[in-house]
A and B are shown apart, each in its own frame.
Chain A
């Protein structure tokens, strides 16, 4: 089966004023329909940039992205996006915010109201439809923003550290909810995070990136049973995956390692080509 997304040797250089920053260098990977793929890497390694290039919001300096076999040179059609901040419109109710993409895309709003309500129910925001963002907690706002991303029923969901600003408990809760939605609605998810644990817990595939200039260190297939449960975080295999990713990052010079001998760990997981 051909991949849904094919990233072919992408590089991206930012030239702002006197300084040029190479954000991404020779990134290649395939993402298949229905997969939950996470991108982990240190802050500033180009994760957001990669996501924007895939979505067609930002052009690559070199290389190509194809989605459904089509070359991406303008914003993709029907993609759901969730950002680190909920970025809800303060002047709209929860329901109004969720319907915003429908209005933007000039779809028939009334026929989407039921869909929006179903999503609100799905994420546990029932009864809050008419509330305004400032009346909601951060977690609830992010739930609303998840509904907004899903309302047009996109095949592809792009999430840029969506739960990174939330407290650990709310984050776990939303991770579980996201998995439930993903399993129920059969989406392809591209999920950026800087939490190795979160990446392993959620994903089929974890793409590990090095510090700037961002390169793909390895593509790790996570072979843990589905549906995932929080208890899985304590099994040995889970630990092996997180340790392996830590070692990869450590070997690439990112200090993501907690104690221990950096070289020793790096040797026990020799670097393989992605």
Chain B
């Protein structure tokens, strides 16, 4: 009990100290506020822009989460197909690997040409960056099965579908969730980058606007909101993992460390 209280108190005290130091330093050194505003200015900017922040946050959330959901759906499906089809493994998989080697953000201008200026081109980029970690992890998870388990299945004349449903799929879940946690954070980055290229709404668009206006305080507020958004999605994934795959080592490790 005592140690868990300490585990909460320690970071809280640390961050409050950090904010106070920031405030004092900016004051003492007299840093111009367009370079580094004091934390108080951030709060003021946050309150002032609150009415518009909601809408833009929702837009970015939809882009990021939409792209992520799409990558989860298609990524898992594709991983299963690759594991079970030698043809796909020989043809589409190398193509995917080549795509993987390209910087996905460089697709953002192309996506505007291909899909247009609106929401969909952002979802496409978020999807693109989130797709690979999902596919790669799921493929590994489906394949890395103890050979003895497969022998056990063969000796009991298990159907291929049973092996998939009762061994491979559950076996892949911890790997999949590792991929999901990477993908979900990347998808937020993807959405922001896509907004940088061409957008008239969303948090990435707001950051650019803040930059043009030298409103550094507001830009930093948006960055903090993005951090909260990413962390929220990450913890959501963690929560779902605990529900769906409570046996996975990562979950037990985290539980043990608190």
Instruction: Please state if A81 and B151 are interface contacts (CB–CB under 8 Å).
Output: yes
Cα A148 to Cα B153 in complex, Å, equals 12
Contact partner, B157, options A100, A104, A134, A148, Cβ 8 Å: A104
Chain A residues lying within 8 Å of B170, measured Cβ to Cβ, are 89, 91
Chain A residue, CB-CB nearest to B167: A89
Instruction: Please state if B162 and A103 are interface contacts (CB–CB under 8 Å).
Output: yes
Tell me, yes or no, whether B55 is within 8 Å of chain A by CB. no
B93 to chain A, nearest CB (A): 23
Cα A148 to Cα B149 in complex, Å, equals 12
Chain A residue, CB-CB nearest to B174: A90
Question: Which of B148, B149, B158, B170 has the most CB atoms of chain A within a 10 A radius of its CB?
Answer: B148
Instruction: Please state if B245 and A87 are interface contacts (CB–CB under 8 Å).
Output: no
Instruction: Please state if A105 and B157 are interface contacts (CB–CB under 8 Å).
Output: yes
Instruction: Please state if A100 and B247 are interface contacts (CB–CB under 8 Å).
Output: no
Tell me, yes or no, whether B155 is within 8 Å of chain A by CB. yes
Tell me, yes or no, whether A125 is within 8 Å of chain B by CB. no
A74 to chain B, nearest CB (A): 9
Chain B residues lying within 8 Å of A221, measured Cβ to Cβ, are none
Cα A105 to Cα B157 in complex, Å, equals 6
Instruction: Please state if B252 and A134 are interface contacts (CB–CB under 8 Å).
Output: yes
Cα A83 to Cα B162 in complex, Å, equals 21
Total number of residue pairs linking A and B with CB closer than 8 Å: 56
Tell me, yes or no, whether B146 is within 8 Å of chain A by CB. yes
Chain B residues lying within 8 Å of A101, measured Cβ to Cβ, are 152, 156
Instruction: Please state if B148 and A83 are interface contacts (CB–CB under 8 Å).
Output: yes
Within residues 98 to 119 of chain A, which ones have a CB less than 8 A from any CB in chain B? 100-101, 103-105
Chain A residues lying within 8 Å of B151, measured Cβ to Cβ, are 52, 57, 81, 83
With contacts A81-B151, A103-B162, A134-B252 taken as known, whether A75 is within 8 angstroms of B157 at the C-beta atoms is yes
Chain B residues lying within 8 Å of A132, measured Cβ to Cβ, are 247
B174 to chain A, nearest CB (A): 9
Tell me, yes or no, whether A76 is within 8 Å of chain B by CB. yes
Tally of chain B residues near chain A (CB < 8 A): 20
Instruction: Please state if A104 and B247 are interface contacts (CB–CB under 8 Å).
Output: no
Chain B residues lying within 8 Å of A56, measured Cβ to Cβ, are 155
Instruction: Please state if B153 and A87 are interface contacts (CB–CB under 8 Å).
Output: no
Tell me, yes or no, whether A67 is within 8 Å of chain B by CB. no
Chain A 67-85, CB-CB to B under 8 Å as 1, else 0, gives 0000000011101010101
Cα A79 to Cα B154 in complex, Å, equals 11
Instruction: Please state if A87 and B247 are interface contacts (CB–CB under 8 Å).
Output: no
Q: Is the interface of A mostly helix, strand, loop or mixed?
A: loop
Chain B residues lying within 8 Å of A90, measured Cβ to Cβ, are 247-248
B31 to chain A, nearest CB (A): 52
Instruction: Please state if A100 and B166 are interface contacts (CB–CB under 8 Å).
Output: yes
With contacts A57-B154, A85-B146, A87-B152 taken as known, whether A103 is within 8 angstroms of B166 at the C-beta atoms is yes
Instruction: Please state if B152 and A91 are interface contacts (CB–CB under 8 Å).
Output: no
Chain B 218-258, CB-CB to A under 8 Å as 1, else 0, gives 00000000000000000000000000010110001000000
Cα A257 to Cα B251 in complex, Å, equals 48
Chain A residue, CB-CB nearest to B158: A104
Cα A57 to Cα B157 in complex, Å, equals 11
Chain A residue, CB-CB nearest to B252: A134
Instruction: Please state if A104 and B153 are interface contacts (CB–CB under 8 Å).
Output: yes
Instruction: Please state if B148 and A91 are interface contacts (CB–CB under 8 Å).
Output: no
Tell me, yes or no, whether A188 is within 8 Å of chain B by CB. no
Instruction: Please state if B149 and A104 are interface contacts (CB–CB under 8 Å).
Output: no
Cα A81 to Cα B148 in complex, Å, equals 9
Instruction: Please state if B252 and A104 are interface contacts (CB–CB under 8 Å).
Output: no
Instruction: Please state if B247 and A134 are interface contacts (CB–CB under 8 Å).
Output: yes
Cα A131 to Cα B84 in complex, Å, equals 33
Instruction: Please state if A87 and B155 are interface contacts (CB–CB under 8 Å).
Output: no
Tell me, yes or no, whether A55 is within 8 Å of chain B by CB. yes
With contacts A81-B152, A103-B162, A134-B252 taken as known, whether A91 is within 8 angstroms of B157 at the C-beta atoms is no
Chain A residue, CB-CB nearest to B247: A90
Chain B residues lying within 8 Å of A81, measured Cβ to Cβ, are 148, 151-152, 155
Besides A57-B151, A91-B247, 13 new A-B residue pairs in contact (Cβ under 8 A), listed by A number: A75-B155, A81-B155, A83-B148, A85-B148, A89-B166, A90-B247, A91-B170, A100-B152, A100-B166, A101-B152, A104-B157, A105-B156, A152-B156
Residue numbers of A with Cβ under 8 A of B are 52, 55-57, 75-77, 79, 81, 83, 85, 87, 89-91, 100-101, 103-105, 132, 134, 148, 152
Q: List 8 A-B contacts (CB under 8 A).
A: A76-B155, A79-B155, A81-B155, A83-B148, A85-B146, A87-B148, A87-B149, A152-B156
The 4 residue pairs across chains A and B that have the minimum distance between CB atoms: A104-B158, A104-B156, A90-B247, A83-B148
